[in-house]
């Protein structure tokens, strides 16, 4: 009897096998890690289960990457930043591992809506703006390029703040992003480090080559590490973001508790844990200033102790520290690293002063991000000495040697010597942290060509003549993986279908899109992608701000931290002028326009918060005026974040980059918006200059004073009343503000703004008003010629490849860190 042969099922494809593997892993995490079933799991439960399953896939690569760095004794980069604005990690990690679609299908087979689940992830509240987002982009690129690296920062439990609007005023509430835990991180019990504050110093000294001391801190705080793996593109390499949390060894004093002093029993714990509670505490008070300094020293000291321990474990000596460690200080916040590394080398590892100084300068590098005096941190000597007495001694000795060498080189002018001193002596004595970072670093870099040139000519001009520290330029970049591939799926699909998948690995190939800028079929699909993004954003705006906007209107986007030099005020003044023009000329054809603002003001920044209120007051009146027929809308979208940026940027038609020339170091929002096709309206400031060079003069709209012209007017104390007298349009706007037309409940509300406009125009708002108005009208004319409009949009996308953060990191690796980059 013939044997019955059973039909075998077809073998699974690799895609099906991966989908099944993910389905099993996600379901297992849901059941065995979270104790849930599909019947009682919510969106957040499914998010956690998916994140844990995906994290497992990263860990194997992470362990391999770490082992390879250890075994081959590769040089590591240590990136110290007070901020890491990493946003949501799930979709970013899935994209870098190239498993988005298999994960979607796996979840769909489990009855889970992928987009709803993805939305359940909270934004990691670890940054405020460009500084933190740049750090996150750099971590992404270092992993993508296979550079062994650690990012070091603080694990803020409540982040910056959640921004809400109450009657148009900004209100700050605590962020609660960690309320339900963080599935991406690993809490490490070892190693942890004891960080000291206050106390006394016993000077030991020795021969003339040493300056050793013993520091007896009055207070100690434990730094507990939490590691988040950062997966590189296509999962080839994984680095760690190590964030420090502040804890105290004795969390409660039982004797005080048992005596009924419940608050006193936990006071020390509250004081210690405040260090990692909130990003940028209000420093308008002496208590706030002290907390800021405690934060900066806490994370810097823990990070340096960690890298020194790792280096000794692998090499047994610190003699070769610069050969295997490159430390990058992201702005002045971690500048105390200079004194702390000297303390570690001299006091704890018995190095001579000169040898320790050579090792310190060979290891540390410093990125400056600002020319603004208030951002070039200085600390009162009294506070510094009380909190970090040993470090103040070290800084005084560094400064004494520095000034001795300066005068020996022939620089004896008293003003020059005072200018290069680490201690500001005019009035209250203050420690200049940017000066300290400059002197203690091998290399200092600016973040755009203009910014670096101004560093050489202004802030560090005199210092550069007294030391061998190099000043170089490293123009910022952005990760295209986050800001194009993930944020703008519709445009990415069009690009890959046109150029092939390899464009995802080589942003320079975007240039090939130039040939499609006049291709009717491609232009139509590009336009459809933008329109779909705008329709989606309109829904977000209505849900978040309660304002209905027309996706067919021109979306004029101004999204960044609220600050006077970023000139949201100039934008809203032009909006008022446009409103007045539309009211005065009802029969004229106006381009429908949505003015969209988003950004947070520092809690203590009264003027910036008043500008937010003005935007909302103008919006309240403009949006409700039936005479406009919806042709002009003004919207402030609250609680700006990385995730909100990912929704706004792909929908933008116009990118507002209108900072006072010479005051914006670089900017990265300008790059993200231009990459997605938005046309830049901006001043010749920061990276706007390089964007113009890359995309072409005809594809940006430049207006206003140059940095040199701004400097001239600042020197002569230019008064805005001069510009108001020459512009009837601006005069009408100022009159409306002064008369309370946008604040009838409080007619004098905007008198501080009016006064600032009429008197010393420090940020050149009045000076640049008419030029800005004309630039906006040129955009109106361009909008009315669709073929030319879309050609310029496409050319912006095509010519932005140079601004990839992979390019920036390759330059750091080659010119500063001396490490290979893939």
Q: How far apart are CA 36 and CA 52, in angstroms?
A: 14
Q: Which residues pair with 215 in a beta bridge?
A: 201
Nearest to 295 by CA among 285, 281, 311: 281
Q: How far apart are CA 646 and CA 636, in angstroms?
A: 16
Q: Which DSSP symbol is given to 159?
A: -
Count of beta carbons in the 10 Å neighbourhood of residue 810: 18
- C-alpha–C-alpha distance, residues 400 and 404, integer Å: 6
CB atoms within 10 A of CB 713: 17
Question: Of the listed 560, 563, 600, 613, which one is catalytic?
Answer: 560
Of residues 672, 791, 792, 799, which has the active-site annotation? 672
Q: Is 369 one of the catalytic residues?
A: yes
Buried b (16+ CB within 10 A) or exposed e, 180-196: eebbbbeeeeeebbebb
Q: Which of 668, 680, 683, 797 is catalytic?
A: 668
Instruction: Catalogue the E-assigned strands of 644-775.
Output: 654-657, 679-682, 701-702
Kindly name the residue from 76, 561, 609, 810 that is annotated as catalytic.
561
Reduced to 3 states, what is the DSSP secondary structure of residue 281? Answer: coil
3-state secondary structure of 480: helix
**Beta carbons within 8 Å of 509's beta carbon, 6+ residues apart:** 499, 502, 503, 801
Coil vs helix vs strand at 586: coil
DSSP-derived secondary structure letter, 276 = G
Catalytic residue among 566, 567, 631, 810: 566
DSSP 804: B
- Whether 560 sits among the annotated catalytic residues: the reply is yes
Please state whether 686 falls in left (phi above 0), alpha (psi between -120 and 50) or beta. Answer: left
| Distance between first and last Cα of the chain | 64
Active-site choice (29, 237, 369, 810): 369
Q: How far is CA 661 from CA 375, 405, 607, 666, 705, in A?
A: 17, 36, 20, 11, 7
Q: Buried (b) or exposed (e) across 324-363, using 16+ Cβ within 10 A?
A: bbbbbbbbbbbbbbbbbbbbbbbbeeebbbebbbebbbbb
| DSSP 3-state of 325 | strand
- DSSP E strands: which ranges in 489-611? 554-559, 593-598
CA distance 379 to 804: 36
Provide φ and ψ at 361, rounded to 5°: -65, -30
**Nearest-10 crossing angle of helices 449-457, 688-695:** 140
- Indicate the helix (H) or strand (E) that contains 216: strand 212-216
419-427 — which CB contacts under 8 Å span 24+ positions? Answer: 419/462, 420/462, 420/463, 420/466, 422/395, 422/398, 423/381, 423/395, 423/396, 423/399, 424/378
CA nearest 339: which of 274, 403, 384, 292? 384
Rg (CA), the chain: 28
3-state secondary structure of 712: helix
Is residue 188 among the annotated active site residues? no
Q: Is 73 a catalytic residue?
A: no
Residue labelled with tokens 């963080």: 182
Alpha-carbon distance of 455 to 449, in angstroms, equals 10
Query: Is the separation of the CB atoms in 634 and 622 below 8 Å?
Result: yes
Using CA atoms, how far residue 655 sits from 361, 362, 568, 652, 764, in Å, is 40, 40, 12, 7, 20
Please state whether 366 falls in left (phi above 0), alpha (psi between -120 and 50) or beta: beta
| CB-CB contact of 699 with 542 (8 Å) | no
Query: Catalytic site residues?
Result: 369, 560-561, 566, 668, 672
């Amino acid at each position: 009897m013939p044997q019955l042969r059973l039909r075998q099922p077809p073998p699974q494809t690799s895609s099906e096998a991966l989908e099944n593997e993910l389905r099993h892993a996600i379901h297992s995490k849901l059941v065995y890690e979270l104790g849930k079933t599909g019947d009682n799991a919510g969106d957040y439960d499914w998010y956690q289960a998916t994140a844990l399953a995906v994290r497992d896939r990263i860990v194997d690569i992470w362990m391999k990457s770490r082992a390879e760095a250890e075994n081959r004794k590769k040089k590591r980069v240590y990136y110290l930043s007070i901020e890491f604005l990493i946003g949501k990690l799930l979709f970013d990690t899935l994209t870098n591992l190239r498993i988005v679609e298999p994960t979607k299908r796996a979840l769909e087979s489990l009855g889970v809506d992928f987009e709803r689940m993805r939305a359940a992830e909270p934004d990691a509240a670890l940054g405020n703006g460009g500084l933190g987002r740049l750090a996150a982009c750099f971590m992404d690129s270092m992993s993508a390029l296979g550079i062994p690296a650690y990012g070091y920062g603080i694990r803020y439990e409540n982040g910056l703040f959640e921004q809400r609007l109450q009657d148009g005023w900004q209100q700050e509430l605590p962020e609660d992003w960690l309320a339900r835990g963080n599935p991406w991180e690993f809490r490490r019990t070892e190693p942890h480090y004891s960080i000291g504050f206050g106390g006394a110093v016993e000077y030991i000294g020795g021969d003339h080559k040493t300056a050793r001391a013993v520091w007896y801190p009055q207070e100690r705080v434990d730094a507990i590490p939490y590691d988040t793996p950062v997966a590189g593109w296509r999962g080839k390499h994984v680095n760690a973001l190590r964030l420090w949390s502040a804890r105290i060894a004795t969390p409660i004093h039982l004797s005080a508790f048992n005596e009924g002093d419940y608050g006193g029993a936990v006071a020390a714990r509250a004081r210690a844990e405040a260090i990692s509670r909130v990003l940028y505490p209000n420093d308008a008070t002496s208590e706030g200033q002290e907390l800021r300094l405690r934060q900066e020293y806490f994370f810097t000291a823990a990070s340096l102790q960690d890298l020194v321990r790792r280096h000794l474990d692998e090499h047994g000596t610190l003699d070769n520290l610069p050969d295997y460690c490159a430390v990058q200080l992201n702005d002045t916040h971690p500048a105390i690293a200079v004194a702390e590394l000297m303390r570690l080398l001299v006091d704890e590892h018995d190095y001579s002063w000169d040898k320790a100084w050579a090792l310190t300068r060979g290891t540390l590098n410093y990125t400056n991000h600002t020319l603004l005096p208030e951002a070039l941190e200085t600390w009162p000597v009294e506070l510094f000495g009380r909190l970090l007495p040993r470090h103040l001694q070290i800084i005084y000795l560094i400064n004494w040697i520095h000034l001795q060498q300066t005068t020996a080189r022939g620089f004896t002018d008293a003003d020059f010597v005072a200018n290069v001193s680490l201690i500001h002596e005019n009035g209250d004595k203050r420690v200049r942290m940017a000066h300290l970072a400059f002197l203690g670093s091998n290399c200092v870099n600016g973040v755009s060509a203009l910014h670096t040139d101004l560093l050489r000519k202004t802030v560090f001009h005199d210092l550069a003549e007294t030391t061998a520290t190099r000043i170089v330029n490293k123009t910022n970049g952005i990760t295209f993986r986050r800001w194009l591939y993930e944020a703008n799926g519709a445009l990415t699909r069009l690009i890959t279908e046109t150029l092939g998948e390899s464009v995802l690995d080589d942003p320079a190939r975007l240039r090939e899109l130039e040939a499609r800028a006049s291709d009717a079929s491609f232009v139509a699909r590009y336009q459809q992608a933008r329109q779909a993004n705008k329709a989606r954003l309109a829904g977000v705006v209505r849900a978040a701000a309660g304002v209905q906007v027309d996706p067919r209107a021109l979306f004029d986007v101004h999204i960044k931290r609220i600050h006077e030099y970023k000139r949201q005020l100039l934008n809203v003044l032009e909006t008022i002028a446009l409103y007045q023009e539309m009211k005065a000329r009802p029969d004229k054809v106006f381009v429908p326009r949505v003015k969209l603002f988003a950004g947070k003001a520092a809690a203590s920044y009264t003027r910036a918060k008043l500008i937010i209120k003005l935007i909302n007051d103008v919006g309240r009146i403009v949006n409700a005026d039936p005479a406009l027929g919806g042709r002009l809308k003004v919207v402030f979208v609250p609680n700006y974040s990385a995730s909100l940026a990912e929704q706004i940027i792909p929908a933008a038609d116009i990118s507002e980059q209108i900072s006072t020339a010479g005051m914006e170091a670089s900017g990265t929002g300008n790059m993200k918006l231009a990459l997605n096709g938005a046309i830049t309206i901006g001043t010749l400031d920061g990276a706007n200059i390089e964007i113009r060079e890359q995309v072409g003069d005809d594809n940006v709209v430049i207006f206003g004073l140059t940095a040199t012209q701004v400097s001239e007017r600042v020197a002569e104390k230019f008064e805005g009343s001069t510009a108001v007298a020459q512009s009837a349009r601006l005069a009408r706007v100022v009159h409306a503000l002064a008369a309370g037309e946008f604040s009838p409940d409080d007619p004098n509300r905007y008198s501080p703004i009016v006064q600032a406009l009429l008197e010393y125009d420090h940020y050149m708002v009045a000076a640049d008003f008419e030029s800005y108005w004309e630039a906006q009208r040129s955009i109106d004319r361009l909008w009315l010629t669709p073929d030319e409009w879309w050609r310029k949009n496409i050319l912006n996308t095509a010519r932005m490849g140079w601004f990839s953060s992979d390019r920036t990191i390759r330059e750091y690796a080659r010119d500063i860190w001396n490490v290979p980059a893939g």
